Amino acid sequence: MSRFKAVIFDLDGVITDTAHYHYLAWKRLAESQGVHFDHAFNENLKGIDRMGSLDLILASSKRAYTAEEKLALADEKNRHYQELIATMSSADLLPGAVRALDVVRAAGLRIGLASVSKNAFTVLGRLGITDKFDYVVDAATIARGKPDPEIFLKAARELGVAAEDCLGVEDAVAGVASIKAAGMFALGIGHPFVLTQADVVITSLNDFNLESY
Ligand code: G6P
Ligand code: MG
């Protein structure tokens, strides 16, 4: 039996590799503003919400932007992104993702999704896994993005489970920080040298199980 009562998953980079689509959309936007954008910079944006990401990108621009201009640029990036995710399907699920969700379900634990992406419902629908979750946080209702614990705490509250009984699953440094700040056990997906705050790090959900932690 697991010592947890709920597992709360991040979406991008954990269940599906939308990071590449975010990369392509941000690159197109950044280059339209004369800002260099590469994979290394994209790493800094993992788990960071849309406006926060835009601010990081525009920090290396020569000009200043008004709040209105920033909103227009964020909308433009989102249009590029939505074009890219429109063709997603269950083929875009990362290896082990469905198995992990099924393992948690079979163990009788609650399942939540805590993504700061305002496109999370669309992506889940394209992947065909919406009904595998008991609760999906609506990012539009979250005031503070990761690394703030707000989103994981909201998921736990809505699932009716105490934070200390939750296992959070994340691929981003900011996301792991959010889980730890919420007082949960953090399972990192990626590399232990990067996700230094995680309690345990595995390479992918292929290695997920509930017995080891
Ligand atoms: C996730 C991704 C970020 C992205 C954020 C907001 O956290 O890891 O790269 O910026 O969601 O996504 P959105 O779809 O709302 O622009
Ligand atoms: Mg992520």
Torsion sign across C-alpha atoms 45, 82, 111, 154 = positive
Residues 198, 96 within the same domain: yes
Range of the domain at 121: 6-16+90-207
Q: Are residues 108 and 76 in the same domain?
A: no
- Ligand nearest the Cα of residue 175 is 2
Phi, psi of 8 (to 5 degrees): -115, 115
Residues of the chain with pLDDT below 70 are none
Task: Say yes or no: 166 and 120 in one domain.
Answer: yes
Mutation test residue for ligand 1: of 15, 43, 50, the one with most atoms within 8 Å of CB: 50
CATH code: domain of residue 26: 1.10.150.240
Tell me if 171 CB under 6 Å of ligand 1: no
For residue 16, what pLDDT is reported? Answer: 97
24 with 11, same domain: the answer is no
Residues 43 and 71 in one domain: yes
Q: Does one domain contain both 12 and 30?
A: no
Asked if residue 147 has a cis previous peptide bond (ω within 30° of 0), the answer is yes
Rounded Cα gap, residues 209 and 9, in angstroms: 14
Could you tell me if 41 and 129 lie in one domain? no
* Model pLDDT for residues 185-201, shown as the tens digit of each residue: 999 999 999 999 999 99
54 & 146 share domain:
no
> Residue 212 falls within a domain, yes or no?
no
Is 105 domain-assigned? yes
CA–CA separation, 121 and 138 (whole Å): 8
State the pLDDT at residue 191.
96
Q: Are both 169 and 140 inside the same structural domain?
A: yes
DSSP 16: B
What CATH number corresponds to the domain at position 146? 3.40.50.1000
Same domain, 77 and 96: no
Structural domains counted in the chain: 2
User: Do 135 and 202 fall within a single domain?
Assistant: yes
Residue 58 included in any domain:
yes
Q: Which among 86, 117, 145 is the end of a domain?
A: 86
For 65-81, write each residue's pLDDT tens digit.
999 999 999 999 999 99
Which atom of ligand 1 is least distant from the CA of 145?
7
Instruction: Using alpha carbons, select from 143, 140, 43, 26 the residue that is nearest to residue 78.
Output: 26
How far apart (Å, rounded) are the C-alpha atoms in residues 139 and 204? 24
CA of 11 relative to ligand 2 center, distance in Å: 6
